[in-house]
């Protein structure tokens, strides 16, 4: 029997080269959008509406929604929620709907708008997500958000971690060099993600904004027990 595939796509602009072949796409933006999404669901948010543009986000704000808007790592003027996972570690939004727009993460989610099933991945839900994917027996694409359509290390390492776990289950195969490369990166980084990422552009960007605490949290595996998935254009928790 032919094993299903697991492959890695490093950036959203490469996604059209892959999309035909896959049943499940996992969008990954470790710093910080998909980590925020996992954290918000873990703390009781009911639904997240990911939007690509600030215009769309503003429309929701005017309708009275809770809207988080981030650009260049900062809260956008006029919005009161941003992209720090620590803002969602409380009961303030329990049972509520959150609208979210970020520089890259929500754009990656949007890039995969036509896929059959979209899931959200991060280090924070690594094991629960891998266990679910292994049960599915479907072709899986791990889609990194990158930074403005360019390669980024942290998403590639997280994709490598998922790919590694699935390949080690002996139930999947991967053939693309992107997947081989992501696994190599993961294997080199896994003993110290924070240290490995020292030279990465996004770690530097967030450090300059005094957000090292966010980085450390986002790089610590298995702190949430959620599997966000898309249904009717919004994200809900599968668990």
In the complex, which residues of this chain contact ligand 3SL (CB under 6 A)?
29, 31-33, 70, 73, 83, 102-105, 145, 206
Q: Decide whether 6 or 142 has the Cβ nearer to ligand 3SL.
A: 142
145 or 178: CB nearest ligand 3SL: 145
Residue 88 to residue 102: CA distance in whole angstroms: 15
Q: Please, which residue, 32 or 183, has the CB nearer to ligand 3SL?
A: 32
Q: Is 194 exposed, middle or buried (0-12, 13-18, 19+ CB in 10 A)?
A: middle
Q: Phi/psi of residue 100, each to 5°?
A: -135, 130
Of the chain, the end-to-end C-alpha distance in Å amounts to: 30
Residue 134: CB minimum distance to ligand 3SL, A: 27
Q: How far apart are CA 106 and CA 33, in angstroms?
A: 7
Q: What are the residues facing 6 on neighbouring strands? A: 140
Nearer residue to ligand 3SL within complex by CB, 87 or 179: 87
Walk across the sheet containing 97-101 and list its strands: 6-9, 140-144, 24-28, 117-121, 228-231, 234-237, 47-50, 97-101, 66-71, 74-75
Query: What is the residue whose two structure tokens read 């094991």?
Result: 127
Q: 70 or 165, CB closer to ligand 3SL?
A: 70
Residue 171 CB, shortest distance to ligand 3SL, in Å, is 31
Least distance CB 136 / ligand 3SL (angstroms): 26
For residue 101, give both structure tokens.
Answer: 């727009």
Closest CA to 219 of 123, 138, 120, 77: 123
Q: Supply the minimum distance, in Å, between the C-beta of residue 31 and ligand 3SL.
A: 4
Cβ 147 to ligand 3SL shortest distance, Å = 7
Least distance CB 199 / ligand 3SL (angstroms): 17
And the tokens for 105? Answer: 């993460």
Nearer to ligand 3SL, 58 or 104 (CB): 104
């Amino acid at each position: 029997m032919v094993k299903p595939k697991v492959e890695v796509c490093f950036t959203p602009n490469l996604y059209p080269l892959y999309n035909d072949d896959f049943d499940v796409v996992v969008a990954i933006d470790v710093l910080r959008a998909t980590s925020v999404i996992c954290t918000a669901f873990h703390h009781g948010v009911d639904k997240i509406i990911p939007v690509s543009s600030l215009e769309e986000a503003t429309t929701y704000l005017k309708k009275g929604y809770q809207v988080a808007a981030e650009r260049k790592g900062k809260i956008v003027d006029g919005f009161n929620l941003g992209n720090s996972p620590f803002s969602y570690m409380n009961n303030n939004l329990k049972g509520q709907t959150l609208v979210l727009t970020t520089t890259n993460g929500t754009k990656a989610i949007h890039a995969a708008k036509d896929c059959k099933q979209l899931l959200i991945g991060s280090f924070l839900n690594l094991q629960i997500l891998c266990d679910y994917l292994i049960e599915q027996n479907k072709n899986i694409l791990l889609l990194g958000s990158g930074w403005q359509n360019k390669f980024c290390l942290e998403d590639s390492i997280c994709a490598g971690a998922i790919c590694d776990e699935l390949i080690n289950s002996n139930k999947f195969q991967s053939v693309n060099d992107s997947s081989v490369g992501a696994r190599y990166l993961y294997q080199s980084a896994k003993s110290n993600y924070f240290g490995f990422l020292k030279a990465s552009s996004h770690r530097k960007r967030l450090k300059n904004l005094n957000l090292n605490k966010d980085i450390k949290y986002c790089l610590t595996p298995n702190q949430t027990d959620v599997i966000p998935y898309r249904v009717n254009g919004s994200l809900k928790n599968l668990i």
